[in-house]
Amino acid sequence: MENLKVSRLDHLGIVSGVIDDLGLVQAIDARLQKDKNGLEEITPGEAIKGMILNGLGFISKPLSLTPRFFQNKPLELLFRAGVKADDFNRFKLGRTLEHVFEYGTDKLFSELSFNVCLKENVDQRFNSEDTTTFSVTGESYPDSDEHAVSVTHGYSKDHRPDLKQVVHELMVSQDGGVPLLMKTWSGNESDTVIFRERTQALVEQFGESELARYLIADSKLYDSGNAPHLSGLRFITRIPSTLKQERAVISEALVSDHWQRIDDDHRYFCKVLTHYDMKQRWLVVQSRGALMRVEKTISKRVLKEHEELTARLKKLGLTPFACKEDAAFAFKKMSKGVRYHDIELVEINELPHYAGKGRPKKEALPERIDYHTETILKKNEKAIESAKEQGSCYVIGTNIEAIELSDQDVISAYKGQNTSIENKGFRFLKDALFFTSSLFIKKPSRIMGLLFIMTLSLLVYSIAQRRLRNNLAEQSEVLPNQINLPSKQPTLRWVFQLMEGVNLVEILIHGVCTRLIDGLCDLKRKIIGLFGETVRNIYIQSASLGVS
Domain extents in the chain: 106-231+404-443, 309-387
- Helix runs in 255-321, H state only: 288-318
H/E stretch holding 21 reads helix 12-22
Strand partners, 270: 283
* Per-residue pLDDT reduced to its tens digit, 452-469: 998 999 999 999 999 999
pLDDT at residue number 511: 73
User: What pTM value is reported for the model?
Assistant: 0.83
Report how far residue 162's alpha carbon sits from residue 160's, in angstroms, rounded to the nearest whole number. 5
DSSP 97: H
pLDDT at residue number 105: 94
CB atoms within 10 A of CB 448: 27
pLDDT at residue number 423: 54
pLDDT at residue number 431: 67
Q: Are the CB atoms for 11 and 491 separated by under 8 Å?
A: no
pLDDT at residue number 365: 82
Q: Are the CB atoms for 432 and 60 separated by under 8 Å?
A: yes
Q: Are the CB atoms for 508 and 547 separated by under 8 Å?
A: yes
Residue of 488, 468, 465, 466 lying closest to 476 (CA atoms): 488
Phi, psi (rounded to 5 degrees) for 462: -65, -40
Q: Are the CB atoms for 23 and 113 separated by under 8 Å?
A: no
CB atoms within 10 A of CB 258: 9
Report how far residue 249's alpha carbon sits from residue 271's, in angstroms, rounded to the nearest whole number. 8
β-pair type (266-275, 260-261): antiparallel
Strand partners, 186: 166
CB atoms within 10 A of CB 543: 8
Residue of 180, 271, 198, 181 lying closest to 235 (CA atoms): 198
The parts of the chain modelled with pLDDT lower than 50 are 1, 437-438, 542-548
Phi, psi (rounded to 5 degrees) for 183: -160, 140
Q: Are the CB atoms for 508 and 3 separated by under 8 Å?
A: yes
Q: Are the CB atoms for 130 and 170 separated by under 8 Å?
A: yes
pLDDT at residue number 283: 97
Strand partners, 486: 480
pLDDT at residue number 125: 92
Which residues, at least 6 apart from 278, have a Cβ–Cβ distance to it below 8 Å? Answer: 227, 230, 231, 399
Which residues, at least 6 apart from 404, have a Cβ–Cβ distance to it below 8 Å? Answer: 212, 234
* Per-residue pLDDT reduced to its tens digit, 475-531: 999 999 999 999 999 999 899 999 999 998 888 887 787 888 889 999 999 999 999
Q: Hey, what amino acid is at 290? A: A
